[in-house]
Amino acid sequence: MIQTRRYAHKQAKTIKRRRLNAQERHERRQRQAQRDIEALRQALDDLGLPADLVVEIEGRLRAQKKLLGKIFGLMCPTLFGCRSAHELTRVRGWDKNVPARILGALPKRSWLKRLRKLGHDVLSALWCHVESMSHSTRSRWQWTWAVDDSVFRKYGQDLELVGKWYSGQHKRVVSGIDGVLVLVVVGDGKLVVPVDFAVRRPDPQGPGARCRTKLAWVQVMLDQSLAALARRGLHLPAPMAVADSWFSDSKLMGHVSDVLKGTLLVQGKSTYAFRLADGRKVHGSDLIHGDAWPWRQSLDAPGCRYARLHASSTTYGQVTLLLVDKPGEDRFYLFCLATEIRATRLLRVWSRRHLIEQVFRTLKHLLATDTCQIHSEDAYYGHLVLRLIASFVLYYTSRVLFKGHVTMDEMIFNVQHHWSSVDCQELELYGLA
């Protein structure tokens, strides 16, 4: 009998302890959600979005009340456990026509102008802050221009922007909207700043095509971005750009080298042919599978080895080849037009290319950019631009305000489970639960 009582008391204490632990854990997560939403609010203020973008939209709509909370909801609907604007209006109790009015308030040129202005303002402030520092400090804040494109699936009624594109994520041709993004990686990923964005129109039938290829888009966006920064008085060094094998075009690489005085580093294909300095003719497959190369061990990445070769090509002219062999990964090679830049710096520049893929993953998975029910072209541009700005706000909050101690996934998880108990009147959150 005594053992039964002891067992019952022990079980009762265990259940009470678990209940208290669960309550403490719930309260701790509520405090984390409050901390995260205050940090996001501070990031919006630091980037000047309430005084710039929000004021313009309020002026266009002649809104009597401030729209910061609704615009923030459209930027990050997943913070409230929603994926589409329709779900967001039901959860927040808004008028169902609010998303369409806000996204359609500006024409597409104005949306893109706001995105470019935000990127240029941030880069200008960073450059003015670092320019007067020592050479070693500036070397840790080098800029890397990264370019890539991605297909956003479009469901529902088709727009003129919808076409058939090859998707690297799905490994097949899908129906969607192809967007080309140019961003600047500051340092080794201290900050990732979107600079420009464009949507490719599908190829129309017959002559008089009004669309551009993604190669032409990248060339135009790089030229315009560098010219805009130069007009602000920034004396930038020669740009270093990285891209995947889809952008290994001789005209684009020549334009970056001759006109912009920079370097475009791309990944090579197995079918490319080169002639080495000793007269041997090799293909990309030979570079990937062969072992008779002057390998050197990398001091920055243990176990990684690389080989640098000088070669010529009938398409590209004189080029620099860089073979990379990392443990646990398939061997690949990079190339650019002939350059004297050290191989170690080229490897560091290439290691930053994955950050643009992280931006696309943030757009598609954390911010649910694919789930858009807007049927207007201007509104869809607004949808894409707001999600791009939201990804930048999340990255800025995680890397700058939280110093990398809190990830974007943690912020979204904390807020979406406790947003009803968070208090932030500027974002229309009043802590009702």
- Written as six digits, the tokens of 81 are 């456990």
Residue 63 belongs to some domain of the structure: no
Residue 172 belongs to some domain of the structure: no
> pLDDT by residue (tens digit) across 206-260?
454 556 788 999 999 999 999 999 999 998 999 999 999 989 999 999 999 999 9
Query: Do strands 263-267 and 273-276 pair parallel, antiparallel, or not at all (unpaired)?
Result: unpaired
pLDDT of residue 1: 45
Which one-letter DSSP state was computed for residue 356?
Answer: H
Domain that holds residue 292: 245-352
| 263 beta partners | 240
In the chain, the number of structural domains is 1
Residue 26 belongs to some domain of the structure: no
> pLDDT by residue (tens digit) across 29-73?
888 899 999 999 999 999 988 888 888 888 888 765 678 899 999
Q: What span, in angstroms and rounded, lies between the C-alpha atoms of 66 and 57?
A: 10
pLDDT of residue 64: 58
Q: What span, in angstroms and rounded, lies between the C-alpha atoms of 255 and 240?
A: 13
Residue 236 belongs to some domain of the structure: no
Integer CA distances (angstroms), 264 to 10, 184, 237, in order: 68, 14, 14
Beta carbons of 249 and 215 less than 8 angstroms apart: yes
Q: Is the pTM of this model over 0.85?
A: yes
pLDDT of residue 62: 79
Residue 340 belongs to some domain of the structure: yes
Query: Do strands 263-267 and 172-186 pair parallel, antiparallel, or not at all (unpaired)?
Result: unpaired
In order along its 433 residues, the chain shows pLDDT tens digits of 456 777 777 888 777 777 667 778 888 888 889 999 999 999 999 998 888 888 888 888 876 567 889 999 999 999 999 988 889 999 988 888 888 899 988 999 999 999 999 999 999 999 988 888 888 877 888 899 999 999 988 765 567 788 888 887 788 888 888 899 999 999 888 899 999 999 888 765 545 455 678 899 999 999 999 999 999 999 899 999 999 998 999 999 999 999 999 999 999 999 999 999 989 999 999 999 988 899 998 877 778 899 999 999 999 999 999 999 988 889 999 999 999 999 999 999 999 999 999 999 999 999 988 888 777 888 889 999 999 999 999 999 999 999 989 999 999 999 998 898 899 988 888 876 5
Beta carbons of 221 and 239 less than 8 angstroms apart: no
Residue 269 belongs to some domain of the structure: yes
| 334 beta partners | 267, 322
pLDDT of residue 208: 47
Residue 304 belongs to some domain of the structure: yes
